[in-house]
A = this chain, B = another copy of it.
């Protein structure tokens, strides 16, 4: 099945906003067995939208557009597509009712300009918007005048705001796809999330055990990001479930300790989940990561139950006053050192009244490095009921990537401790 994605929006092309739709829809559609073959962004101009839709309909079984369904002057997609397909726009009392309810529940009058959002092109199926006023639309083109031999295509129009698009995709579009564009029998995919191991090391470990399954038809993909390697299994046909089950067992045997989750799991989600399950708590002491770890953890709903406190102790004074790190210790070893990381972790655990204390002290750069402790050096301390460990890592990146990589290592150190695995010493990331 050929799938193409069209993002409309001049602000995307001018770089004023980030195109997150490409990643979100790309991942969702790949996991549904309908990978996107081509993505294009065009400005909010009728002719550009029409050209892009016509081109895509000439090639694809499914064309998805985003944006341009709202009530303002540069929302042109609904009208232009209706004109292109020669469909009349018909007023929908149901949509009008829904828009009225949307504003009533917020205690606001219905703006007159939302009236255009009640227009539905003849023959289109409506995708309900439960988080906004712009309905999605789905068209079956059969025959499709833009495709060789009139081969049919589906054209689906989604609204631009992610908080409207995401639930509409999951609740309205996925069931429709399963009904009208089912994937080949037995498509299955499963992505494992791993950390603490490099991509080539992972590939080497899996090569031999997975060779027979790959010969049979299992697809194996790797995707390396900072501090993470995804391992993705895709199978088609009646054996796909059995292949993926077998491959999952082989992955567990070859590299099980590095797996922290599946699908969209994050390391912070895994840590919050594992601590919650055990009724255990955490306190953070962040110097070089500057609140990055606390921020990620508190993005997870329910984090308040396990995160007792976080201390962002950039200054030496704060290390001493908030965490009780002895000033002599800092004077003797330097703030970026094994003993200070240890003292910070133990101090956070004590001050926060938590089961675990996790600390970070390092040199984010661009300044502050030395021969002995170059930019990128970070000491990660973990204090807990089992004692305290400190690891030294080298993350030679720009500032934000340094924080991210260090956070991955710290969260993984905690994950490994909870699971009874030893910490990984001296990880070196080179840029």
Residues of chain B within 8 A (CB-CB) of A35 are 13-14
B295 touches A292 (CB 8 A): yes
Contact of A16 among B40, B230, B314, B321 (CB under 8 A): B230
A11 touches B223 (CB 8 A): yes
Q: Does A205 contact B (CB under 8 A)?
A: no
Tell me, rounded to whole Å, the shortest Cβ–Cβ distance linking A185 to chain B: 22
Residues of chain B within 8 A (CB-CB) of A398 are 163
A22 touches B12 (CB 8 A): yes
A15 touches B11 (CB 8 A): no
Docked pose: A367 CA to B163 CA in angstroms? 18
With an 8 Å Cβ cutoff, the count of chain A residues facing the other chain is 77
Residues of chain B within 8 A (CB-CB) of A48 are 37-38
Copies in the complex: 2
Residues of chain B within 8 A (CB-CB) of A230 are 16
Residues of chain B within 8 A (CB-CB) of A431 are 131, 163
Docked pose: A351 CA to B312 CA in angstroms? 12
Contact of A309 among B223, B294, B297, B318 (CB under 8 A): B318
Tell me, rounded to whole Å, the shortest Cβ–Cβ distance linking A134 to chain B: 14
Residues of chain B within 8 A (CB-CB) of A397 are 163
Docked pose: A289 CA to B22 CA in angstroms? 28
Residues of chain B within 8 A (CB-CB) of A29 are 15
Mark A369-391 against chain B: 1 for CB-CB distance below 8 A, else 0.
00000000000000000000000
- Given A291-B291, A291-B298, A307-B312: A19 touches B23 (CB 8 Å cut-off): yes
Q: Does A70 contact B (CB under 8 A)?
A: no
Q: Does A201 contact B (CB under 8 A)?
A: no
Q: Is the interface of A mostly helix, strand, loop or mixed?
A: mixed
A14 touches B30 (CB 8 A): yes
Q: Which of A97-134 contact B (CB under 8 A)?
A: 106, 131
- Given A13-B35, A22-B41, A38-B41: A284 touches B301 (CB 8 Å cut-off): no
Q: Does A310 contact B (CB under 8 A)?
A: yes
- Given A39-B13, A295-B295, A312-B284: A399 touches B367 (CB 8 Å cut-off): no
Docked pose: A87 CA to B16 CA in angstroms? 37
- Given A13-B35, A295-B295: A315 touches B309 (CB 8 Å cut-off): yes
**Nearest residue in B to A293 (C-beta to C-beta)?**
B291
Residues of chain B within 8 A (CB-CB) of A26 are 12-15
Tell me, rounded to whole Å, the shortest Cβ–Cβ distance linking A103 to chain B: 11
B27 touches A14 (CB 8 A): yes
Q: List 30 A-B contacts (CB under 8 A).
A: A13-B22, A13-B26, A13-B35, A13-B36, A15-B22, A15-B26, A16-B27, A16-B223, A17-B223, A17-B225, A18-B18, A18-B22, A18-B23, A38-B40, A38-B41, A40-B40, A286-B294, A290-B303, A295-B295, A295-B403, A301-B365, A301-B367, A308-B314, A308-B317, A309-B313, A309-B318, A310-B311, A310-B312, A311-B311, A312-B312
Known: A307-B315, A312-B312. 6 other contacts (CB 8 A): A15-B36, A19-B19, A37-B48, A39-B41, A291-B293, A307-B312
